[in-house]
Structure 1
Amino acid sequence: MIKKLLTGVVIAGVVVFAAVWAMSPVLAGQAIIRAAERGDEAALERLVDFPALRESMKGELNDLLIAEMRNDPRVVENGLGGLTTMLAPMFISGAVDTVVTPQGVAAMVTTAQAPEADGTPAPEPADARDEPDLHKAWGYRSMDVFAVTLTDRDRPEHSLALLLERRGLFKWQLAAVDLRTER
């Protein structure tokens, strides 16, 4: 009798632990979205790993800008295209440092748009009537990376994946944005 009770308690404990462990990134993603919608900078400071997010965005924006320049015949034909390619990371670095702030993250989350490759920040909705209707998709990319993909229902060709990374057993922080999800 006691052995069955103890076994039941252990099994219940394991099930509760697994459920909380699996749901923790969803709760963190929801907290980020709520904080962005409220403009709660203090909450965003806790929920976002800004140094990691900046480094991730610098790499992604640099890759996007170089790809755009390679596909632009004006840059290819221009003798300064190589110089532009070499200087692009410097300009992107400064732009990302300026844009990736609590306000910038809030704008990305509420509009499902990342800054442009040239560092132009994501647009902010003019007022409540202009706020996009966002579809949210949730899913693990690995055991330690969870994606919250935001898609504007009015512009389904634009989506933005917020990548949360595990920081301990139950804590998750926004550490990267997948810009390649934008079509």
Structure 2
Amino acid sequence: MKKYIIGVIAAAAIAFGVWYFFSPGYALSNMRDAAVEGDADKLEQYIDFASLRESMKAQLKAKMMVEMAKDDNPLGGLGMAIGMGMIDPMIDGMMTPEGMRAMMLQKSADQLASGEAIDEVEAPEWNIERVSFSELRAYPKTENPDEEKAAMIFKRDGLSWRLSEIDLSEIPMGE
């Protein structure tokens, strides 16, 4: 009986380790597959669109406020103020299953809407950085490690992961 309990505990620990290390890559792969297939319902399983929209709006508005503070030109400030009013509808229009599909496939929405055949899409390589047990950051691997890039932030949702934010803090604005 004791060996049975130890075996069950060992099997559970191994299963947990496999899940812990492989589930982020599995979620990223499933997101890519849903994008290639054009399966909006499956894509929504891996993306928290409400959280993603709010995060993007807040980050872009904060970046614009910083730029407005730097600008001495009153007309520049007026332009930025007009731009601030355009952020919400712009993000609401982009952060949809179709918009995320276009971003993930690096195609325009027009190309996807035209029914243009999607060639075999090369799966990007990802650097995955665990922030905590329930949060991770995924960066696309690039040839230049110093290249500024946005991080996709995933939060654990049960046994899976959902994209909840795209961190734009490393991306310069207006330069």
Tell whether the structures are fold-level matches, with TM greater than 0.5. yes
1:150 aligns with one of 124, 129, 140: 140
Whether contact under 8 Å (2:51, 2:164) holds in the other structure is yes
- 1: CA distance, partners of 2:110 / 2:153: 20
Residue 180 of structure 1 and its aligned partner are, at CA, apart by: 2.6
TM-score normalised over the length of structure 2: 0.74
Distance 1:135 1:18, change over 3 A: closer
SS in 1 for 2:74: coil
Matches within 5 A, 1:95-174: 95-111=90-106, 134-151=124-141, 157=147, 159-168=149-158, 170-174=159-163
CA contact (8 A) 1:132 1:153 kept: no
Distance 2:54 2:27 in 1: 21
Aligned-pair Cα RMSD in Å: 3.5
CA, structure 1 residues 107+70, in 2 after alignment: closer, same or farther (shift >3 Å)? farther
2:30 corresponding residue in structure 1? 31
Contiguous gaps of at least 5 residues in structure 2: none
Question: In 2, are the aligned partners of 1:133 and 1:152 still within 8 Å (CA)?
Answer: no
**Structure 1 residue 153 displacement after superposition:** 5.1
Q: Tell me how far apart the structure 1 counterparts of residues 67 and 125 of structure 2 sit (CA, whole Å).
A: 28
Q: Deviations over 1:52-108 (max 9, x none)?
A: 00001111222333344455xxxx232244444545432101110111111211222
Q: Return the alpha-carbon distance in structure 2 between the equivalents of residues 67 and 23 of structure 1.
A: 39
Question: Matched residue of 2:140: which SS?
Answer: strand
- SS of 2:52 mapped into structure 1: helix
Q: Distance in 1 between matches of 2:150 and 2:37?
A: 20
Determine the structure 2 residue equivalent to 1:9.
Answer: 8
Equivalent pairs counted in the alignment come to 168
Please give the alpha-carbon distance, in whole angstroms, between the structure 2 residues aligned to 1:123 and 1:182: 26
- For structure 1, the residue ranges without an aligned partner over 5 or more in a row are 114-120
Confirm or deny: 8 A CA contact 1:61 1:92 kept in the other structure: yes
Match of residue 91 from structure 1: 86
Match of 2:50 in 1: 51
Cα distance change, pair 109–88 in 1 and its aligned pair in 2 (3 A): same
Kept in 1, the 8 Å contact 2:126–2:140? The answer is yes
Identity of aligned residues (%): 29
What's the TM-score, normalizing by structure 1?
0.72
Question: What secondary structure sits across from 2:98 in the alignment?
Answer: helix
The 3-state SS of whatever aligns with 2:128 is strand
- How far apart in 2 are the matches of 1:29 and 1:58? 23
Q: Take 1:68 and 1:34, find their aligned partners in 2: how far apart are those partners? A: 38
Q: Give the direction of change, closer, same or farther, for the CA distance of 1:56–1:20 in structure 2 (3 Å limit).
A: same
Q: Which amino acid aligns with 2:96?
A: T
CA distance in 2, matches of 1:182, 1:124: 26
Alpha-carbon distance change, 93 to 135 in structure 1, aligned in 2, over 3 angstroms: same
